Amino acid sequence: MSVLAMAPSEQTQAALPPSMVERMTLILDLFAGDTEQGTDPRDVWLPLDRIARGTGLPRSTSHRILEQLVRLQWLDHSPAGYGLGRRAHQLGGGAAHHDDLRAAASPHLHELLLRTGAVIHLGVLEGAQVRYLDKLGGRFAVNVPSRVGGTAPAHCTALGKAMLAWLPAEDVDELVGRELAPRTPSSVSQLPALHQQLTRIRGRHGLALEHGEYVPEISCVAAAVRSPRGPVGALSVVAATGTTLERVGPLVLDAARRIAADL
């Protein structure tokens, strides 16, 4: 039977790419942006109906593939629609995205350093890990086992929990998994306990506190840098255990808000 002799539904089915990889590629191509018009791929957010029309895929098929791409972190889902996720940023525009965050954060991190005299971190969430983008500090910095480019478990650092607190509960479960490996006797090791901590963080307007959960002798206070689509990073103040960090909490929250505004 020729294509012209087929029913309309049969013609559509025959024209669709047969493999899942090809269908995923059709969807991801929609987020390429338009360099001639100055559209950055990171700013492209599309609703489901627009994706279905742009790919020619049935709406139900588009939705099923989109949900898989979100689960695997190739895409993010927000009230604005679907946009490129963490994995896509890491492969393509991730470095530039982090450069934007570092540039916006830099003056505020230095101001925090001057006002607190403590070690200051800037980080982003990568799966179940925090990746450090910046580290500032004086002599005490040598006692903090972090380095720019290094990682730490998100569930036992204030930096990580400040960002996890603003993700949907099911996303937290997907990221950190059911088994939380403790780093110290103070580390949270059960998923329900982690969710209780994240609830308390939201109750403190986003302020995360951590005492000896990653390194026994170190305490941290952190806050997420948030966009309408969720947390894009976080900053923390780090000092020796026993230091009263709660008093610098308002400074950390204010710096996080100003960085978000500058972004």
For the chain, 263 residues long, the average pLDDT of each consecutive 10-residue run is: 38 57 89 57 82 91 90 80 76 60 92 90 90 84 82 93 93 86 90 94 94 90 90 92 83 95 87
| CATH classification (class only), 94-262 | alpha beta
The DSSP symbol for 236 reads E
- Say what the pLDDT of residue 171 is: 87
For domain 3-91, the CATH architecture is Orthogonal Bundle (1.10)
- Taking the domains of the chain in order of start, what are their residue ranges? 3-91, 94-262
- Say what the pLDDT of residue 10 is: 39
- Say what the pLDDT of residue 179 is: 81
- Say what the pLDDT of residue 178 is: 81
Buried b (16+ CB within 10 A) or exposed e, 37-76: eeeebbebbbeeeebbeebebeeeebeebbeebbeebbbb
The total of other beta-carbon atoms located within 10 Å of residue 254's CB is: 14
- Say what the pLDDT of residue 145 is: 83
